[in-house]
């Protein structure tokens, strides 16, 4: 089975590319969603996160308020590193289990793991190919403002904390330019899918 890492940055279009690849026939695993699941009540990291960050991050039902947690850690790189050390190991274990299940279903299939920080963590080295969803920084800010109802300052601050997409280009086997119409992004993604299929056979 061909293992493909899909990455990008804030509002760069990687989820759209991932869903397009899934529609074309790839297995899609979304690391960000798994990250949400492991801090839900009963999740592998739930108790550890509460122990580290305190009960103030919980709502009345005992659910971790992700926005509040994010606001706390993104102001402090040290606290973000602590959170990552609690969340990433169970996320990696779940991804490994899901990849094994995909391989059992189709040994010649293509599994795409979508994650924002494949490159930053070094995890991209575990994959056969790396796809980057790319657009201009100004577009990232505008899209984040529209999607997240964020101010320009908030979106720009989030972008400032991420590795620039231009830097990520150096690592990518494929770059999909999402700056144009969605139809153009789909066309590029279809071309990449055809190349992946030829490699997977």
Domains parsed from the chain with CATH numbers: 1-26+109-201 (3.40.50.300), 31-106 (3.40.50.300)
Task: Assign 74 a pLDDT band (cuts: 50, 70, 90).
Answer: confident
- Relative orientation angle of helices 77-105 and 31-38, to the nearest 10 degrees: 110
Tell me: pLDDT of 11 over 90: yes
Task: Assign 112 a pLDDT band (cuts: 50, 70, 90).
Answer: very high
Tell me: pLDDT of 75 over 80: no
Contacts of 80 (CB under 8 A, 6+ apart): 73, 74
Q: What is the pLDDT of residue 163?
A: 95
**70 exposed, middle or buried (CB, 10 Å; 0-12, 13-18, 19+)?**
middle
**39 exposed, middle or buried (CB, 10 Å; 0-12, 13-18, 19+)?**
buried
- Dihedral sign for Cα 78, 79, 85, 91, please: negative
pLDDT: is 154 or 86 the higher one?
Answer: 86
Least confident of 75-79, 111-115, 182-186: 75-79
Q: What's the whole-model pTM score? A: 0.93
Percentage of the chain modeled with pLDDT above 70? 100
- Dihedral sign for Cα 10, 15, 16, 20, please: positive
- For residue range 152-194, list pLDDT tens digits in order: 998 998 899 899 999 999 999 999 999 999 999 999 999 999 9
Angstrom distance (rounded) from CA 138 to CA 55 = 37
Task: Assign 19 a pLDDT band (cuts: 50, 70, 90).
Answer: very high
Contacts of 65 (CB under 8 A, 6+ apart): 57, 58, 59
Percentage of the chain modeled with pLDDT above 90? 91
Contacts of 139 (CB under 8 A, 6+ apart): 11, 179
């Amino acid at each position: 089975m061909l293992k493909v890492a899909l990455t990008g940055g804030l509002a760069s279009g990687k989820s759209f590319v991932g869903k397009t690849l899934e529609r074309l026939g790839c297995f899609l695993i979304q690391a960000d969603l798994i990250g949400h699941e492991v801090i839900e009540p009963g999740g592998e990291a739930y108790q550890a996160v509460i122990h580290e960050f305190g009960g103030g991050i919980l709502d009345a039902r005992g659910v971790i308020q992700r926005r509040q947690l994010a606001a706390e850690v993104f102001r402090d790189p040290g606290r973000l590193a602590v959170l990552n050390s609690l969340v990433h190991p169970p996320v990696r274990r779940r991804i490994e289990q899901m990849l094994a299940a995909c391989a059992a279903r189709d040994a010649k299939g293509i599994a795409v793991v979508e994650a924002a920080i494949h490159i930053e963590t070094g995890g991209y080295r575990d994959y056969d190919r790396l796809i980057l969803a790319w657009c201009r920084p100004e577009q990232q800010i505008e899209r984040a403002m529209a999607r997240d109802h964020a101010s320009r300052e908030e979106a720009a601050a989030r972008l400032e904390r991420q590795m620039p997409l231009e830097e990520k280009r150096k690592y990518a086997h494929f770059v999909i330019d999402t700056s144009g119409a969605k139809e153009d992004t789909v066309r590029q993604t279809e071309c990449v899918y055809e190349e992946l299929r030829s490699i997977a056979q």
